[in-house]
Amino acid sequence: MKLVVSLGQMDVKWGDPAANLATAAAMTDEAARRGSDVVVFPELWSSAYDFENAAQYAAPLGQGIFAETAALAQKHQIYILGSCLSLLGEGKFGNTAVLFAPDGQMVADYSKTHLFRLMNEEQYLTAGDKVTLAETAWGQWGLAICYDLRFPELFRQYALMGANLAFLPSEWPHPRLAHWRTLLRARAIENQMFMAACNRVGEQTGTRFFGHSTIVDPWGEIVLELG
């Protein structure tokens, strides 16, 4: 059965969930108009890395930005995936990707297990402690986030669990474009699965993000690469 995926590559506005949600809503509308089954957004697409104000944005799953995303999925009858700041407990925040179904129900959630020190994630976030497979009509999908791409064990585990596709919301910066391309192809080839990665564009606190959101097939061939 054919699966149509849209990659919502966007310039994430620092600490502005309302503006970012409006961008995501417009992209979701366009993805649905094009007949897409899934639309994927970048890592921390609602707030970017504004960790010092995480308490303003983070919400328990099912509330806040997660509830708004669920409503968007239901409105447009489409799967939506991307990561946002989540409230894991009193004073504990996660970088959590949630897959919402076209009926607005949460299919799967995954909190980033490998925290990226160059963005100070370990100072503000709590690492996830589980892997996540989403059961869909197209097969099983694995969820990962950005820096996780550098850890092949995670994707091997997904492959051994039966995944045929892994999604990767990201904020992957310059100058590591060659690493991005190489690692996406490697994860696809070694596990014989599709990789669908959505990376942000724009600049934040002196760091530039290059986009190049990409879909790679199990042969390592690039199906789609944005600019």
Catalytic residues: 43, 112, 146
Q: The tokens of 167 are what? A: 């999604």
| Residue 78, C-beta contacts closer than 8 angstroms, at least 6 positions apart | 28, 31, 32, 36, 37, 38, 39, 102
| Residue 157, C-beta contacts closer than 8 angstroms, at least 6 positions apart | 131
Question: How far apart, in whole angstroms, are the C-alpha atoms of residue 218 and residue 14?
Answer: 35
| Residue 152, C-beta contacts closer than 8 angstroms, at least 6 positions apart | 186, 187, 190
Residue of 55, 53, 64, 142 whose CA lies nearest to 97: 142
Token match 């989540």: residue?
86
**Residue 82 DSSP code:** E
CB 81 within 8 A of CB 89: no
